[in-house]
Amino acid sequence: MTVKDALKSAASRIMGVRPDVFFSSTNALEGDLTELVNAVAKDIIKSNDWRVLTKLCTLTGDGTSDGFNLPDDYDRMQKGSSLQSAMAPLYGYQPCVDPDEWLTLQMPYGVCSLGRWIKFGGQIHIMPKPALGQEIKFFYQSNRFAVDENGTPKAGFEKDNDSFLLDEELLTLGLIWRYRQQKRIDYTDDQVLYEKRFNELAGEDKGARVFVEGGRGVSTNAYPPYWGVLG
């Protein structure tokens, strides 16, 4: 199915019409829905750590740099995710609370034997500097929730024949309640249907529901940590 199918289904349930085109249309309904569809999709991907959008990043140290560019499709770290390396310090890599903590640790009196990491300036920074050839791995969520007709992932819908990597019925339900909310029409029942579908899918997917970047909390569907070599 394509995003046009989700848009057409939403239009049918909202206004009883089934337009043939959306992104190239100049009609009001089609314009409203195409403006909303990317916002709805982004809300969906940011509300759960979806397995289909989960990707593994591998960084390789050069012995001199502490900063590494994030992947082009990087959206966020997963809840509770951590940096893993066979050559990590004894207690692994812990996230810095804020940039000030990172700055403090750069000072002579702030030196410690614990590994630290932080994101700023479009990069992830790691302390101590990874050794030459050292691999550090972590899972992250991709922002490319759509694919074009050739199967190329992308971070937004642009054409009617683009497809959604997640559930298109969820996208349709999200469009309906968000459209009615925008038009100040009662959307209570529509939102309930959307949330019910979301909870069903999130439960089946087993991803973490609440995102806290760099957090160390354990979700109810978490497994014990793996202590073997990850790279």
pLDDT digits (tens, 9 = 90+) for 9-28: 999 999 999 999 999 999 99
Residue 143 corresponds to which tokens in the numbers above?
């922002």
Residue 46 corresponds to which tokens in the numbers above?
């940011």
Q: How many angstroms separate the Cα of 202 from the Cα of each of 68, 197, 199, 205? A: 31, 9, 5, 5
pLDDT at position 229: 38
pLDDT band with cut points at 50, 70 and 90 for residue 80:
confident
Q: Above 50 in pLDDT, residue 96?
A: yes
3-state secondary structure of 75: strand
Q: Considering the chain, what percentage of its residues have pLDDT values greater than 90?
A: 77
Q: Which residues of 121-130 are buried (b: 16+ CB within 10 A; e: fewer)?
A: eeebbbbbeb
State the pTM of this model.
0.83
- Average pLDDT over the chain reads 88
For the ranges 57-71, 90-104, 206-220, the one whose mean pLDDT is highest: 57-71
Q: Considering the chain, what percentage of its residues have pLDDT values greater than 70?
A: 87
Query: pLDDT tens digits for 188-226?
Result: 999 999 999 999 999 999 755 543 333 333 344 433 333
pLDDT band with cut points at 50, 70 and 90 for residue 145:
very high
pLDDT at position 110: 57
Residue 85 corresponds to which tokens in the numbers above?
């390396």
Report d(CA 142, CA 121) in Å as an integer.
Answer: 19
Peptide bond into 128 cis (omega under 30): yes
pLDDT band with cut points at 50, 70 and 90 for residue 43:
very high
Backbone angles phi, psi at 68, to 5 degrees: -135, 135
pLDDT at position 91: 84
| Average pLDDT of span 106-122 | 81
pLDDT band with cut points at 50, 70 and 90 for residue 79:
confident
| Average pLDDT of span 144-172 | 97
Provide the residue ranges of all domains of the chain, joining segments of one domain with +.
Answer: 3-50+166-205, 52-142
Tracing tokens 């009662």 back to the chain, one arrives at 186
Report d(CA 207, CA 224) in Å as an integer.
Answer: 15
Pairwise pLDDT comparison (31 vs 106), residue with the higher score: 31
Q: Which amino acid is at 19?
A: P
| Average pLDDT of span 69-74 | 97
Q: Radius of gyration (Cα) for the chain, nearest Å? A: 21
Q: Which residues of 7-27 are buried (b: 16+ CB within 10 A; e: fewer)?
A: bbbbbeebeeeebeebbebee
Contact 29, 16 (CB under 8 A): no
Report d(CA 88, CA 38) in Å as an integer.
Answer: 39
pLDDT at position 90: 81
